[in-house]
Amino acid sequence: MGKTALAVRAAHALREEFPDGRLFVRLRDASGRARAARELAADLARLLDGDRPAAPADPVRTAARWRDWLAEHRVLVVLDGVPDERTARALLPPGGPATALVTGRTPLACLGAAHRVDLAPFGVPEALALLSLLVGARRVDAAPAAAERIVTSCGLLPSAVRLAGYKLAALRHLPLGEFADRLADPDRVLGELAAGEARLSDRLDAQWQALDDGQRRTLARLSGRPWTGAFDLDQAADALGLPAGPALDALERLIVAGVLLCPAEEVSAHAARYTLPRLTHLHARLRAGSPDTSCTAL
């Protein structure tokens, strides 16, 4: 959704307010999986000690040193990709002049009082603007219908549009219309959204693995129906084979897990329209049929 880009942009804009510096702490690896505690502790130790050689960092002691240091410095810390509240609490400033910007796939509701910003997918103009930055405005302007098909097939998700742009920037000979046709093919789109070592399927794999068995079953059943974008509670209950109450509980667990999108404004459960991103739907459909998952019987 562009969480990291927004947080970094905000940190740059706030540089005058934090004379002791701005620090970026990445809590997930390039594939989107949570980093090991000792690897993260080593990063924090380097931030605390500079280039001085140090013994292997102990996660608990290093986190305590980190919080003590934050309590005495006016710094802005970007904690990027926080997997859960416990990890966030171990790294957040305990008080004092430091401030944190936290990004996460899930709402991290138990962190307490905080100013929260929920990011939605781009609109078409925003997605086209990003694509133009990556492949050149002239190329996009020459094939506007194809460019719109590309960003729409990406679900208007910034990370997917970025990968599409990287690929088109490398394959200068590839017509936008031909690439749009590839992305429209549900059997090809996930494989096409890859550039170098970056693959959207890796991030979707990490998201799938982070779910518990019940959440995977719900997602697998929803993905077993043709993708329609938005759906209501009655349609979800039919797909899940559940009464409305248990179906709503199952949907809300996927919302909390950051998989399912819900309305930003208050609306009753029966009037709400829920959105399962197309690429998540396609990935879940593939994983539900894989013999290494718990959803093979669905």
| pLDDT of res. 267 | 81
Q: In this predicted model, what pLDDT tens digit does every residue of 6-47 receive, in sequence order?
A: 889 999 999 999 998 898 989 888 777 888 888 888 888 888
Helix (H, G, I), strand (E, B), or coil: what is residue 197? coil
The helix, strand and coil proportions of the chain, stated in percent and rounded to the nearest 5, come to 55, 10, 40
Task: Tell me how far apart the alpha carbons of residues 251 and 206 are, in angstroms, rounded to a whole number.
Answer: 20
Task: Tell me how far apart the alpha carbons of residues 34 and 28 are, in angstroms, rounded to a whole number.
Answer: 4
| pLDDT of res. 51 | 65
| pLDDT of res. 4 | 87
Helices (H), 118-229: 124-135, 137-142, 144-153, 158-170, 176-184, 189-192, 200-210, 213-223
Local confidence band at 294 (pLDDT 50, 70, 90 cut-offs) = very low
Contact predicate 105/258, CB 8 Å: yes
Q: Which residue has the higher pLDDT, 124 or 265?
A: 124
Over pLDDT 70: what percentage of the chain? Answer: 94
Task: Tell me how far apart the alpha carbons of residues 284 and 286 are, in angstroms, rounded to a whole number.
Answer: 5
Interhelix angle for 176-184 vs 158-170, to 10°?
A: 140
How do beta strands 198-199 and 194-195 pair?
antiparallel
Task: Tell me how far apart the alpha carbons of residues 290 and 144 are, in angstroms, rounded to a whole number.
Answer: 37
Task: Tell me how far apart the alpha carbons of residues 171 and 166 are, in angstroms, rounded to a whole number.
Answer: 9
Interhelix angle for 278-288 vs 200-210, to 10°?
A: 70
Task: Tell me how far apart the alpha carbons of residues 27 and 140 are, in angstroms, rounded to a whole number.
Answer: 35
| pLDDT of res. 280 | 93
Could you give the C-alpha distances from 89 to 48, 85, 106, 112, 240, in angstroms and in order? 18, 6, 15, 10, 36
Task: Tell me how far apart the alpha carbons of residues 47 and 66 are, in angstroms, rounded to a whole number.
Answer: 9
**Matching residue, tokens 């329609």:** 228
- Tell whether the model's pLDDT for residue 52 goes beyond 80: no
Nearest to 152 by CA among 286, 273, 278, 274: 278
* Mean pLDDT of the residues in the chain: 86
Dihedral angle, C-alpha 262, 266, 267, 269, nearest 10 °: 60
**Matching residue, tokens 């009082």:** 113
Nearest to 236 by CA among 260, 257, 214: 260
The two tokens of residue 120 are 């939605």
Q: In this predicted model, what pLDDT tens digit does every residue of 101-126 receive, in sequence order?
A: 888 887 777 776 778 888 888 899 99
* DSSP calls for 12-56: HHTGGG-TT-EEEEE-B-TTSPBPPHHHHHHHHHHHHHTTS--PP
